[in-house]
């Protein structure tokens, strides 16, 4: 008997199976093995993880062009700042674009009730701010300001844009 790496109680990982099959096709036509490590366009993007926002397509980026840092909301919390510091100090990026979007899931809930729900489901206190927001543009401006003002982030251009999930258009806010 061999030991399976997957949990014994779960259903088969159908998305992984599909992803590995898709990768076979990708690898068969892969021609980007000689790209340098530093991003070619010296750009770092911080964006929401929303499934409707394909950052590469929206911004016209190709493999090797930019660092794309994503999380729920496109927020400049501690870990994205870590990534930006590495992007700038070690890999030479010289501009930051923050991308948030209409219809963001972070506009749809409140921190306290969701944390209470998770606590009741898990029996563990939830000491994790989820950082929902109620004003998209104000939130985006705050992320841009936080990046601009951060002592370890370089003094480079930092912009904030809203992606409209209905039209595909970007609107500059900051
Ligand atoms: Zn979002």
pLDDT in tens, 124-170: 999 999 999 999 999 999 999 999 999 999 999 999 999 999 999 99
Report residue 78: phi and psi, to 5°: -60, -45
Within a domain: 19: no
Quote the distance between the C-alpha of residue 98 and its chain's center: 10
Helix (H, G, I), strand (E, B) or coil at 14: helix
Residues contacting 166, CB < 8 A, separation 6+: 102, 103
**pLDDT for residue 1:** 42
Ligand 1 center–CA 127 separation, angstroms: 22
Ligand 1 center–CA 37 separation, angstroms: 28
Within a domain: 116: yes
| pLDDT of 2 strictly over 90 | no
Ligand 1 center–CA 24 separation, angstroms: 30
Ligand 1 center–CA 111 separation, angstroms: 15
Ligand 1 center–CA 126 separation, angstroms: 22
Which tens digit of pLDDT belongs to each residue from 17-67? 999 999 999 999 999 999 999 999 999 999 999 999 999 999 999 999 999
Ligand 1 center–CA 103 separation, angstroms: 7
Split into its structural domains, the chain has a count of 1
Within a domain: 13: no
Within a domain: 82: yes
Measuring CA to CA, how many Å separate 22 from each of 6, 14, 25, 64, 91? Answer: 20, 12, 5, 21, 30
Within a domain: 70: yes
Secondary structure letter of residue 151 according to DSSP: T
Within a domain: 150: yes
Within a domain: 9: no
The domain in which residue 72 lies consists of 35-172
> What is the number of residues in the chain?
174
Residues contacting 150, CB < 8 A, separation 6+: 76, 81, 84
Ligand 1 center–CA 99 separation, angstroms: 9
Ligand 1 center–CA 101 separation, angstroms: 6
The CATH number of the domain holding residue 168 is 3.40.1050.10
Ligand 1 center–CA 88 separation, angstroms: 25
Within a domain: 16: no
């Amino acid at each position: 008997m061999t030991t399976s790496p997957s949990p014994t109680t779960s259903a088969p990982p159908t998305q992984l199976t599909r992803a590995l099959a898709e990768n076979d096709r990708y690898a068969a036509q892969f021609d980007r093995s000689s790209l340098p490590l530093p991003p070619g366009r010296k750009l770092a993007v911080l964006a929401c993880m929303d499934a409707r926002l394909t950052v590469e397509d929206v911004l016209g980026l190709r493999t090797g062009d930019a660092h794309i840092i994503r999380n729920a909301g496109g927020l400049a919390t501690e870990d994205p700042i870590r990534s930006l510091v590495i992007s700038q100090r070690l890999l030479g990026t010289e501009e930051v674009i923050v991308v948030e979007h209409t219809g963001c899931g972070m506009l749809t809930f409140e921190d306290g009730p969701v944390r209470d729900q998770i606590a009741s489901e898990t029996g563990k206190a939830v000491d994790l701010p989820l950082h929902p927001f109620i004003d998209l543009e104000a939130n985006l401006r705050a992320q841009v300001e936080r990046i601009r003002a951060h002592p370890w982030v370089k003094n480079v251009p930092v912009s904030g844009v809203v992606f409209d999930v209905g039209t595909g258009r970007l609107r500059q806010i900051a």
